[in-house]
């Protein structure tokens, strides 16, 4: 990742890279960066940089500095928000997609349970949008778009696999319709960088892209190949699953090796 970032800058393919790594290896990552490129101008975050009273100053430093790379932890990355306008656009798109899915189910006599699940998901997104619009404590910290980074490297990317998922499928193992805030935050930032770089601004690194379910392959593709999925009509999970997989009934062993 380090070599890719520096070579990309040398070739004029990117200007400022942002490395997002697990919190406990920030210093180690920075040390290895300097071993490979001793003359590189890098900015490394510390815990105090993201304390509430220091965050604005530090983000301004990222935005105005001519750095080769910025290195920060997963939890720090989540604290740098996209602009409220972009977040609202993203949530409105989710509501639109859910409304289409609900109407489609009703039109085609879909299961009552599936319709209720999608309506529940839609209500959650509407609440998030309302909370975003009603936020009276506007944080004046520099937004993600203003940082000036045009290449994102995410280490241990499997930590962001819990991304929201809408499906009409029921009783299929491995499909969880829960989401982690850090995952939806990364997904929005990936979409922004895709717009900025033509789909060439995000790099994931992980030794376990799939650990529990094939659904994780779909999640990785949504992060990294969103436009390709959209172009081929595979953006919704049900379309993707029907194209690349099949649902089978089988016995499964749990960790204690008893059959489920």
pLDDT in the model for residue 67: 95
Write the pLDDT tens digit of every residue in 69-116.
Answer: 999 999 999 999 899 899 999 889 889 888 888 888 788 777 777 788
pLDDT in the model for residue 77: 94
> In this structure, is residue 256 part of a structural domain?
no
Structural domain count, the chain: 2
Q: Which of 147-156, 215-224, 249-258 has the lowest mean pLDDT?
A: 249-258
> In this structure, is residue 125 part of a structural domain?
yes
Write the pLDDT tens digit of every residue in 2-13.
Answer: 999 999 999 999
- Whether 22 and 126 map to the same domain: the answer is no
- Whether 124 and 157 map to the same domain: the answer is no
- Whether 65 and 173 map to the same domain: the answer is yes
- Whether 196 and 72 map to the same domain: the answer is yes
pLDDT band at 139 (very low <50, low <70, confident <90, very high): low
Give a three-class secondary structure readout of the chain.
CHHHHHHHHHCCCCCCEEEEECHHHHHHHHHHHHHHCCCCCEEECCHHHHCHHHHHHHHHHHHHCCCCEEEEEHHHHHHCCCCHHHHHHHHHHHHHHHHHHHHHHHHCCCCHHHHHHHHHHHHHHHHHHHHHHCCCCCCCCCCHHHHCCCEEEEECHHHHCCCCCCCCCCCCCCCCCCCCHHHHHHHHHHHHHHHHHCCCCEEEECCCCCCCCCHHHHHHHHHHCHHHHHHCCCCCHHHHHHHHCCCCCCCCECCCCCEC
> In this structure, is residue 255 part of a structural domain?
no
Domain of residue 111 covers: 85-133
**Mean pLDDT over all residues of the chain?**
87
Instruction: Using the predicted structure, report yes or no on whether residue 257 has a pLDDT greater than 70.
Output: no
Question: How much is the pTM?
Answer: 0.86
- Whether 161 and 185 map to the same domain: the answer is yes
């Amino acid at each position: 990742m380090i070599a890719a970032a520096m070579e990309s800058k040398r070739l004029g393919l990117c200007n400022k890279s942002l490395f997002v790594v697990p919190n406990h290896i920030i210093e180690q990552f920075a040390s290895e960066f300097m071993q490979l490129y001793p003359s590189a101008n890098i900015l490394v975050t510390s815990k105090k940089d993201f304390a509430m009273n220091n965050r604005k100053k530090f983000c301004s430093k990222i935005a105005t500095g001519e750095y080769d790379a910025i290195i920060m932890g997963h939890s720090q990355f989540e604290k740098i928000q996209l602009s409220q306008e972009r977040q609202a656009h993203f949530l409105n798109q989710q509501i639109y997609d859910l409304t289409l899915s609900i109407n489609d189910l009703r039109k085609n006599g879909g299961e009552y349970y599936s319709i209720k699940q999608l309506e529940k998901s839609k209500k959650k997104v509407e609440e998030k949008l309302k909370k975003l619009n009603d936020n009276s404590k506007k944080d004046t910290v520099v937004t993600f778009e203003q940082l000036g980074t045009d290449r994102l490297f995410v280490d241990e990317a499997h930590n962001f696999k819990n991304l929201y998922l809408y499906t009409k499928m029921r009783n299929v193992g491995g499909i969880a319709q829960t989401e982690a805030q850090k995952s939806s935050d990364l997904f929005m930032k990936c979409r922004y960088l895709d717009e900025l770089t033509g789909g060439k601004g995000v790099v994931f690194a992980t030794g376990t892209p799939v650990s529990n379910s094939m659904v994780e392959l779909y999640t990785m593709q949504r992060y990294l190949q969103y436009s390709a999925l959209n172009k081929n009509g595979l953006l919704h999970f049900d379309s993707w699953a029907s194209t690349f997989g099949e649902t089978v009934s089988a016995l499964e062993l749990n960790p204690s090796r008893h059959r489920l």
